[in-house]
Structure 1
Amino acid sequence: MRKLNSSKLVALLIGTGVICGLLVTSVSAQAKLTERSKLAIDGIGPIRVGMTVDEASKAGGIRLIRSRSGDLNEYQCFYVQPKEEPKGISFMVTKGRIARVDINSKRITTISGARIGDQENRILSLYPGQIKATPHSYVIRPSDNGKYLTFVPKDAVDKNYRIIFETCKNRVDRFRSGKLPEVEYTEGCS
């Protein structure tokens, strides 16, 4: 077996440290909540339903602040959102934990690729046999044809989660995901 002299050993250790540092940086960069983060039935990117606001801030590498909508009420319900970027994401908090994620940005998609602006048929094709359509509670004109398209998961482990797409004139206006019953609250925390 060959012996390494001290300068070669130092160079080897530095090289290994650089590679490890790159790997850690790469993993950290992927964990930050961004506009490229994908919405799942139980959260978005690194932020999961069930986390506290502090846990979600740390996991997402962002600062979450209380938004103006959703004042604390008898259900201990309020909203937080990223202080800066990404825009168009808000988190409903009930009893101190993230309960749902609301999306109002055209740039953010679900894991399957659904987004604001998609036609209802696209949603049905992305989630075949798993969409339950119901009339929207607040249709102003019958011609708006608003609906809730609710993704109902097949896996028993996910039975308490949903993704709900709100549509108007056959196009997705906004969507949200989270746990039951909060994900189904049509007026948020109100």
Structure 2
Amino acid sequence: MLKINIFTKLFALFIATAVIVSMWATSVNAQVQLTERSKLAINGIGPIRVGMTVAEASRAAGVRLIKSYAPPNEEFCSYFKPQEQPQGINFMVTKGRIVRIDISNEQITTIKGFKVGDTEEQIIKAYPGQIRIIKNPLSGRGNNLTFVPRDAADSNYRLIFQTGIEGRVRYFRSGQLPQVEYIEGCS
């Protein structure tokens, strides 16, 4: 009788844990529309993931993405943005797939809560030993703070904060190598 009682309690605990984990996973993945509350990760934002086509991303986000910039060689690279809201998000597309996400919207944050206006000191402190600092090669004013993940599964991704001479974040971006490190975007 004691063995059955312990087994029953363990089974009930297992079921309760599975239900809680399932509810947590559902709430994390529940965001189905791209909004200013969407969080930027190293491999996507909200429901949009690096590697999606523009059509897949539009469907996943519930927002139509439209072309915002295309250089002469569109196969190399082009940019798409939400047709209406939210503003300040641009998706770099190469060979038909999203490879990078650029953020200038002051409301959008990273998963850790960083946004336009935060200081270099805050970023460096939040990612000890994982920030590579490079002087802005175009202007020499401000820096590019590059988050380099430790997890092997994320080794092809980066999160880059571009700061001005005052040491505050002006824009940030995430995506896959090598495109996330292109200094001038598609240019």
Sort the TM-score into its range (normalised by shorter chain): 0.7 to 0.9
Aligned to 2:5: none
CA distance in 2, matches of 1:118, 1:164: 13
Query: How does 1:33-182 map onto structure 2 within 5 Å?
Result: 33-67=34-68, 69-73=69-73, 75-139=75-139, 144=141, 146-168=142-164, 169-182=166-179
Instruction: Classify 1:184/1:51 alpha carbon distance in 2 versus 1 (closer, same or farther; 3 Å).
Output: same
1:132-173, Cα deviation, whole Å (9 max, x unpaired): 001101226xxx4x1000000000000000001000121101
Shift of 1:70: 3.4
What is the SS of the residue equivalent to 1:66? strand
CA distance in 2, matches of 1:50, 1:124: 28
AA aligned to 1:51 is: M
Percent identical pairs in the alignment equals: 61
Whether the aligned pair in 2 keeps the contact of 1:76 and 1:96 (CA below 8 Å) is no
TM-score when normalising by structure 2: 0.81
Instruction: Classify 1:152/1:52 alpha carbon distance in 2 versus 1 (closer, same or farther; 3 Å).
Output: same
Give the ranges of 4+ consecutive aligned residues of structure 1 lying more than 3 Å apart after TM superposition.
26-29
**RMSD across aligned C-alpha pairs, in angstroms?**
1.7
What is the SS of the residue equivalent to 1:128? coil
CA distance in 1, matches of 2:92, 2:101: 6
AA aligned to 2:99 is: A
TM-score when normalising by structure 1: 0.80
The number of aligned residues is: 160
Q: Which has the larger radius of gyration?
A: 1
Shift of 1:36: 0.2
Shift of 1:129: 1.4
1:28-57, Cα deviation, whole Å (9 max, x unpaired): 972111000000000100000000000000
Whether the aligned pair in 2 keeps the contact of 1:71 and 1:78 (CA below 8 Å) is yes
CA distance in 1, matches of 2:33, 2:96: 22
Q: Which runs of 5+ in 1 are unaligned?
A: 1-25
Q: Which runs of 5+ in 2 are unaligned?
A: 1-26
AA aligned to 1:158 is: D
